[in-house]
Structure formats: C-alpha cells, structure tokens
Amino acid sequence: MEYSKALNLPLRRRLAEEFSRWPMTLKIGSIMFLGIVLAGIFAPWLVPYDPYTQDLNNTLQPPSLTHPFGTDNFGRDVLTRVLFGIRIDLPFGFLTTYVPMVYGVVLGAMAGYAGGFFDGILMRVLDVVVAFPFLVLIIVIVAILGPGIFNIYLSIFLTAWTMYARLARAEMLVERNKDYILAARNLGYGPGRIVFRHALPNVINSSIVFSMSDFVLNIMLVSGLSFLGLGVTPPTPEWGAMIAEGRDFIFEAWWISTLPGLALVVTGAALCLIGDGLAQRLGERRHALI
Amino acid sequence: MVAPEQIAADNAAMKPSILEIEDLVVEFHQGNKVVRAANHVSLTIRQGETVGIVGESGSGKSVLCRSILRLLPSPPSFVKSGRITFAGRDLLSLPETEMQEIRGADIAMVFQNPMNALNPVWPIGDQITEGERVHRGLGTRAARTRAVELLKRVGIPSPEMRVDEYPHQWSGGMVQRAVIAMAIAGGPKLILADEPTTALDVTIQDQILALLMDLQAATGTTLILVSHDMAVVAETCDRVAVMYAGRIMELAPTADVFAHPRHPYSLGLLRSIPRIDGKGQRLEPIPGQPPSLSELPAGCPFMPRCSFASPACGTSDVPLREVAKGHFSACIKAEEIAAVAL
Amino acid sequence: MNLLSYIVSRLLQMIPVVIGVSLVAFLAIHLVPGDPVQLMMHGRATPETLQAAHAKLGLDQPLLVQYWNFIRNAATGSLGTSIIQNADVGKIVGERLLPTVLLLVTSAVFAILIALPLSIIAARRSDQLADHVIRLLGIIGFAMPPFWVGIILMLFFGIYLDWFPISGYGRSFGDRMYHLVLPSLTIALFLAPILIQSLRAAILDVMTAEYITVARAKGLGPWRVLIKHALRNALMPVTTILAVNIGWLLSGAVVVEYLFSFPGLGSLLVRAVGQRDYPVIQGLSLVFAILVLFVNLLADLSYMLIDRRVLKA
C-alpha cells in the first residue's frame, strides 16, 4: 500500500522517500563514494603539483603541511599521485565489474530458464573456469597475451562473467517455477520476453549486491597485478604500482607504500558499505512486496 | 445428588499442588508494538493429574508452557508480572544455573514437530541421554544401555539396532516416541506436552496419546497436554483450561466442560466440532476473528464475537471466578450460559 | 547410498572438469601469439636451437598427440621440461607444493581462530553494539588488499617489534612455522571477514531451530547448546564457504608469497611469467586447478561426515 501511494508522488518526493528508507550503511557508503569520485574528477584543481614531475631536491620528505602525504623517491607529491590514482583505479574497477555483469547475468538467466543442453554446456564451462584461482587465471592469460592494460581488461572480460552467470542461473532456477512466470507463459509470451521483462528484475538483485564486493576485488586485482609488476607500468600513478615502488623504501619512508594503500582501503570500505546497505534495502523491498 | 465427576474433582482437590501459576503476564516486544501473549493467567496443577489446555493457535498455550520452563528468548519476550511456583520453588526468580537443573530432571517437555525437535547431526540415542550424561555424569557405555532401555519403554522395535541411527532415518511417529523417551529420561515430576500429536498422521496420533497415558499411569507423573483439538483433550484429561487471547476463559473438570460449558467461547468451540452421538447436527463456526494481541480491547476479549455480549462486558476486565464447585469461568453471564443446551 | 559409492560417484563427476582443466592448461602454450620458444629466448634463438627446443617440448608433433602425451605425462607426475631452468617442471613445481599447502593450512587455521570467537559474539549480541563493531571491522578488513596488509604487518611485527622474520622459509619445522606466521596472518586477515559474515548468519539461523529449544529444555547450559548443537550445524555452510573461497585464498597466496619472498607455487608463477617460462606456467596452472578441485572434494567429504543426510539425497 505504501508503494502505490509512493508511485503517485512527484519524482523529487519519491527520491526523498527512497533516501529516507536507506539504511545508515548505504547512506554513509554512498557519500564516501561520491566524495572519492569528485576528488578524482577535480584532482588537478585540488593539488598544486603534477603527478609525474620529479623534484629530486625534495625526495623522501615525510608528511608535512606542504606535502600532507609526503614525497616519494623522485620527490613527487604522494597525495597528488593518490588523487590521480582515483582516475585509473575507479574506472578500471567499474568497467571490469559491470561489463562482465551484463553478459554474465544474461547468459546465466537464459541457461537457468532454458535448461537442457545449453545449460549443461554453460555449467561445464563454469566448472572449468572456477577451478582456476582467479588471479592465477588472469596472470596466465596476461602471460600468454603479453602485459598491458588492454590485455588485463581482456583477460577479466573473459573470466569475470562466470560468477554472475552462476548467481543469475541459481536465482532463475528458483524463479522459473513461480506462478507469475507460469502465468506469463500461459499468456503466450515468448521466452525472451519472459526472461528479460518478467524474471530479470527478480533475478538481478543478488548480482547487484555481489557486484559491490566484486568492484572492491577488481580494484585489488589491478593494484595487485601492478604490485607484481604485471599490470600498470611505473610512472603511472596507480595505487598498487605506488605501493610496489614504495616497498623498496619501506624502512626510511613508510608513507610511500602505506598511504596509497589507505586510499584503496577507504574506497573498498565505501563500496562494501554500499553493498551491505543494498543487501538490506533490497532484501527489505522483497519482503515488503511479498 | 452429587455427580460422579464432581467426586473425581474433589478427590483431585485433596492432592497437594505441584505447579502454581499466579497472575502471569508475558509480553513480546516487536519493534514498537507490544504483543501480550499471556494475560493474567492463574492456574494450579495438582500432583498426578492430567490437565488439558485448549485454544486456537495464537491463544497463548505454547507461550504459557515455554514460560514455565523459561525457554522463551528474552528479548523479545518479557515476563511483566506473576509467579510460577513449582514444588515450593519460585521458578521465575531462580538463577539460570538452578533452572538448568530443573529442566529435564523435574520438568520435561514434548514438542510439536518431532522432525525439528531432534538435531539432525547427532545419533538419536546420544540425544536422548544427553541430559543424564550432563546432569548425572552417566558414562558413555551406561548411557547407551539407558538409551536402549528408554527406547524400549516407548515402544521402538529392536532398539539396540536403532539407537545409533539418525533422525532422518526414522518416521515422524517414531521420532516423536524418541522425543517422549527424551522427556521421561530424567524421571520428571511434570511433563509439558505441547501439541504432541498435531504434526502426525491421524492413526499415529492415537498411538502417541496412548503411550503418553500409559507412561503417566506407570510413573504417576503430572501431565499438561496442550492441544487445539477438543477431542484429544476429552479422551485424556482430568481437567481442561480453555484459553483465548492469552487468557484462561474456563477451567473445570473435563466432563463438566463438555456437559455444561459455562463460557460462551467453550460453548462455541463445542458447537463447532462434530459430536459422536449425533446431537446438534449442524456445526456452527464462531463468527469473526480473534483480536490482535497487540491491540486488545478493554474488558472481555471475546466480546466482539460473543452472541451473549452486553455493554457491561466491555467496561472492565472479567476475572476468572468459581461459578460452581471446581468450575471456573471468566464470563459475567456464566450462570446464564450454564442453562443453555449444547 | 553408502560412503564408498558416494566417494566414487563424486570422483566420476570430477572427470569432465579435470579434462576441461587439462585442456585449458595444455592450450595455454599454444595460444601464445608467435613462437613460444622464440619468445622465451627473447628472439635470440638460432633455427637449430629452435628446432632442438621444439623437439624437446614435443611442439613438432600433431596437436592431438601432444595433448595425449601431456595427459599421460601429467598422470605420472611429469609436466614437461623448463628450457630456462633446464629441469623437469614436475620437480620444480613439486618442491614448491608443500610450502604453499602449509601456508594455506596455517592461513585457514588463523582465519578460523579469528572468525570463530568474533562471529559467536556477533551472533549472541546480534544488532547490539558489539555486533555492529564486528561488522564494521569486517568491512574494513575485506577492503584491505593483502599485499598492503602484508607490508603493514612487516613494518610493525617484523621491523618495529622485530618479532617475526619478514621473508623466506626456514629449514627445520619449527623455523618454518616461525616464518609462516606473518604470511599466513596476512591471508587470514583477508579471509576472516568473509568467514565471520557467513558464520554469524549461520549461527543466527541455527539458533532459531526448534532442536536448540529442545536442547535447552533438557537442561543444557548455554555453552553446551552453542558448541554441541549450534556450532556443528553452523560449521557446515562454513566448510562450503571455505572451499568455494579456496580460489581467493590461493589468489591471495600468490601475492603474499611474492611479497614475503616465500618459496611457494605463487612466487614461482610470478617468476615464471616474468621469465616467460611457458612450460612452468602450463604446469602450474594445472597444479593450481587440481588443488582447488581437491579441496572442494575434501570439503564435500567432510560435509558428508558431519551430516549424514547428504547420503540420502
């Protein structure tokens, strides 16, 4: 009854009402994430330094007022590089999460609905892909294709969809026997319409919640690859690459490695909070509608 | 002339009481709602008798049972007021460790759904004697012998073969026998049977009831039998308490309630079940719904559904009072109802 | 169904997956753009050495024959020859297998030691302050990349306090355990939040079951109820979660082994990729996948030992 009332309200009131239903974790996480996105967009105006220009007179300076995060072994301002790093890590995490999610969910939902041969093939492929530790698979593919950011994207696009296919398929198996699907079938709708118009909105929730953790793991993945020297190459201000560079100076300049890592943790925590809140919010909506 | 059931009730009255519930109020806090599941319940159980508690689901029967053993989780449940005295001890003020000594050993419970009552990952025999192993330091080997003996008592065929099996390997009726074996293991003075037959097939129900009666006759245990089924209670109980919306509406010897109910709710319940003798051919359901336990009306909770209601019913609480010897009713028109033919 | 036939049927189910996995590992070397030997030699191979290397790797034979040889050799523990190290891949990998397995085990033990008490507290105090604090710690813990946590632990326990070694792998068993502390703690801190989340939910779920009330009605104390009746049932989904996450555990191990210069499979993989040692990469990917499959099999079997109902299905 609350929803039918809510549908008649103007958009602004509806958004306000929606926002008021958000759990605290979702609110805090969204605000943190928005802050990080804005900091990335406005990075050149926020700090007076350039992320690449070296200043060899000012190397390994500890955090101070002029350099809040200190400087690295080339005298570059660490805060500047951390802020510019947002521009690399965030889009990477976003694309590697949501591009595979699209075809993963579609494939999984179709397999779950259709069953039979198509489903069997998909399941065997999933079994094989899942048998490899994710990072190992990525490393092997990068080793075959050669290093470079494009090949990392390609290797993730090849593999990351499997988790979503799994989730969507499992949900679809439950969903396809429910009355509303049977009703849609009785009305003579084709499988395409049933899967995409009727079932998908109910199948996608678990994938949305999972995508938040996946986002975190993918940012960790690119920084981890850079840390191993298989990802983004040194002068680029990528967080993992910065941590790897700072590792050689860990005894005399702890800030070069630890502070970029802190940026990773804050970003990850923001996304986890959103995921936690979304799980609560979507779960609640489901209950309210039953 | 005194009716024979009256004599039975008088005889029972001679026996000392084993359990006294006085003015018990139990509430559940759900968000900002307060659900009152037991509302000023008073009930005295005498040694060796069988008392039935009947009522619709949600009338507070199970809550009453579980609050005797203090099994309700708190929060959300709270005992607002009242006393429960068992063999002279005030159960509600006992420390939890002393309560643990009473559970199983002095008061035991049989549960509604046998399939959920046993832990799926442990063998049945192990679960039956667990209480004795913990409380009486029974050894592993002695416990196994004891489990076999108990299973034999509840009528499980070839118990030595089956004592190590798991609950999923048994049928519902057999598991319920095991649950009963678990209840009698500690030699309790009082057994609370919470809808022990509801989840079972009709043919099995009678066997389980008969088993409970046999065991009670053999050991002289006191039994509280909770059921929503008037027929079950009629066959087995000395006295009946009829509950509605968390209150006891009528309390009397079983035969009395069935012959001359003195509360409109009991009357309604009896009219809504088929009678073996064929009298009162048309079944009459009670109109309306039970009230929400979070928004109880003032006065008698049955008033909105009652055909005898008068404005006086809705003004103040109607306490349970003795309207005939050993016959209690919470209706201001109890005498009038007694005159109505079933 | 009895135990033996369950195990056999479970092994039979694994066959198609193992074939698929071996196919992927086998094709790895063939999908390299260009000549793998030429790439390994950084383009400096003469036609003669190239031909000799091809013969040694069996690359001059038809694809199907090569695959058959690969499978046949793998079954006997031989995974081909590393041109760069001039040694048998099976032997190189075999030396590294035990340290990695040890690292996984100690990591899992640490993770359980962290997760078990915290999830019990979170479940018993659900929706209270302690629960919220633990949940927040879990979120932060999950967001911390292992290689970064490793550096922090190195800095604090290794350098500042100087309690534990920060690299390598000892000689005696005790010394090895000593070297394993920081790397396994690093992985455990990544794994524990996942465990806490699922264990907390599982305990809460089990605690509402009727058999918990029954156990209390028997007069059992709260700890006995929790440990004997709730935890054992709650641990079952956790076994599955540990097994499902074995891939992540191994992924974490790759990075952590590299960071702590730990002589395991992960650091070998990173080095092999750097050297373009394709036979080693090929052998390693097969070993990693078999390890994952084996752990999943173990989890299924232990699940069956805990809950016999599985056999009925």
Complex-level ipTM: 0.83
Scanning B143-182 for CB atoms below 8 A from C yields 166, 168, 179, 182
B101, B118, B166 ranked by CB distance to C308: nearest: B166
Residues in chain C with CB shorter than 8 Å from the CB of B120 are 211, 233, 307, 309
Residues in chain C with CB shorter than 8 Å from the CB of B122 are 228
Nearest CA-CA partner of A226 in A253, A252, A245? A245
Question: Tens digit of pLDDT per residue, chain A (290 long)?
Answer: 445 555 566 778 878 877 888 888 889 999 999 999 999 999 888 888 888 878 778 777 788 888 888 888 888 888 989 999 999 899 999 999 999 999 999 999 989 888 888 888 888 888 888 888 888 989 988 888 887 788 889 999 988 898 899 888 888 888 888 888 888 888 878 777 888 877 888 888 888 888 888 899 899 988 889 888 888 887 888 898 888 888 888 878 888 888 899 999 999 999 999 988 888 887 644 332 22
C210, C217, C306 ranked by CB distance to B113: nearest: C210
Q: Do residue A131 and residue C21 have CB atoms under 8 angstroms apart?
A: yes
Return contacts of A238-242, CB within 8 angstroms, 24+ apart.
A238/A85, A238/A88, A238/A89, A239/A82, A239/A85, A239/A88, A239/A89, A239/A263, A239/A264, A240/A264, A240/C145, A240/C147, A242/A72, A242/A78, A242/A81, A242/A82, A242/A85
Interface contacts (B, C; CB < 8 Å) = 74
C221, C232, C309 ranked by CB distance to B100: nearest: C221
Q: Do residue A267 and residue C270 have CB atoms under 8 angstroms apart?
A: no
Interface mutation vs chain C, best among A126, A128, A257, most C CBs within 10 Å? A128
- pLDDT of res. B136: 81
C31, C140, C252 ranked by CB distance to A144: nearest: C31
Separation of alpha carbons B165 and B159, rounded Å: 10
Helix, strand, coil share of chain A (percent; to 5)? 75, 0, 25
Q: State whether residue C218 sits within 8 Å of chain B by CB.
A: yes
Q: Do residue B120 and residue C307 have CB atoms under 8 angstroms apart?
A: yes
Q: Could you tell me which residue, B340 or C15, shows the higher pLDDT?
A: C15
- pLDDT of res. C313: 47
For residue C141, the distance in angstroms to the closest alpha carbon of chain A comes to 8
For residue A288, the distance in angstroms to the closest alpha carbon of chain C comes to 21
Buried b (16+ CB within 10 A) or exposed e, C118-157: bbbbbbbeeeeeebeebbeebbbbbbbbbbbbbbbbbbeb
C142, C258, C288 ranked by CB distance to A272: nearest: C142
| Residue found by looking up tokens 């809040």 in the block | A68
Other Cβ atoms closer than 10 A to A148: 14
- pLDDT of res. C312: 54
> Which chain C residue is nearest to residue A225, measuring alpha carbons?
C255
> Which chain A residue is nearest to residue C297, measuring alpha carbons?
A131
Residues in chain A with CB shorter than 8 Å from the CB of C259 are 227, 247
Lookup: tokens for C294:
């084996």
Q: Do residue B131 and residue C220 have CB atoms under 8 angstroms apart?
A: yes
Q: State whether residue C171 sits within 8 Å of chain B by CB.
A: no
- pLDDT of res. A289: 24
Q: H-type helices in B85-221, by residue range?
A: 96-102, 114-117, 124-128, 130-136, 140-153, 159-162, 172-184, 202-219
Q: Do residue C20 and residue A268 have CB atoms under 8 angstroms apart?
A: no
> Which chain C residue is nearest to residue B133, measuring alpha carbons?
C220
Q: Do residue C255 and residue A254 have CB atoms under 8 angstroms apart?
A: no
pLDDT under 50 in chain B at which residues? 1-2
The 10s digit of each residue's pLDDT in C113-127 is: 999 899 888 888 877
Q: State whether residue B75 sits within 8 Å of chain C by CB.
A: no
Interface mutation vs chain C, best among B102, B121, B170, most C CBs within 10 Å? B121
Give all chains having 3 or more CB-to-CB distances under 8 Å with chain B.
C
Sequence length of chain C is 313
Separation of alpha carbons A140 and A134, rounded Å: 10
Mean pLDDT value across chain C:
83
Residues in chain B with CB shorter than 8 Å from the CB of C220 are 100, 130-131, 134
Residues in chain C with CB shorter than 8 Å from the CB of B106 are none
From the centroid of its chain, how far is CA B254?
14
> Which chain C residue is nearest to residue A260, measuring alpha carbons?
C148
Other Cβ atoms closer than 10 A to B207: 16
Q: State whether residue B57 sits within 8 Å of chain C by CB.
A: no
Report the DSSP pairing between strands B327-329 and B239-244.
unpaired
Give all chains having 3 or more CB-to-CB distances under 8 Å with chain C.
A, B
φ and ψ at residue B339, rounded to 5 degrees = -80, -15
A144, A227, A265 ranked by CB distance to C255: nearest: A227
> What are the helix and strand counts (H, E) for chain A?
15, 0
Other Cβ atoms closer than 10 A to A220: 30
Separation of alpha carbons C248 and A220, rounded Å: 12
Q: State whether residue B130 sits within 8 Å of chain C by CB.
A: yes
Residues in chain C with CB shorter than 8 Å from the CB of A142 are 273
Q: State whether residue C224 sits within 8 Å of chain B by CB.
A: yes
Q: Do residue B108 and residue C221 have CB atoms under 8 angstroms apart?
A: no
A144, A243, A276 ranked by CB distance to C151: nearest: A243
Q: What is the DSSP letter of B16?
A: P
The 10s digit of each residue's pLDDT in C201-254 is: 888 888 888 888 888 888 888 888 888 888 877 777 777 777 777 888 888 899
Q: B223-227, C40-44, C144-148, C274-278: which has the minimum mean pLDDT?
A: C40-44
Q: State whether residue B188 sits within 8 Å of chain C by CB.
A: no
- pLDDT of res. A34: 95
Q: State whether residue C215 sits within 8 Å of chain B by CB.
A: yes
φ and ψ at residue B132, rounded to 5 degrees = -70, -35
Q: Do residue A139 and residue C292 have CB atoms under 8 angstroms apart?
A: no
Separation of alpha carbons A237 and A258, rounded Å: 14
> Which chain A residue is nearest to residue C194, measuring alpha carbons?
A213
Longest dimension (CA), chain B: 67
Q: Do residue C270 and residue A139 have CB atoms under 8 angstroms apart?
A: yes
C216, C219, C307 ranked by CB distance to B101: nearest: C219
Contact predicate C82/C279, CB 8 Å: yes
> Which chain C residue is nearest to residue A255, measuring alpha carbons?
C152
B104, B108, B117 ranked by CB distance to C211: nearest: B117
Q: Do residue C218 and residue B118 have CB atoms under 8 angstroms apart?
A: no
Question: Which residue type sits at B166?
Answer: Y
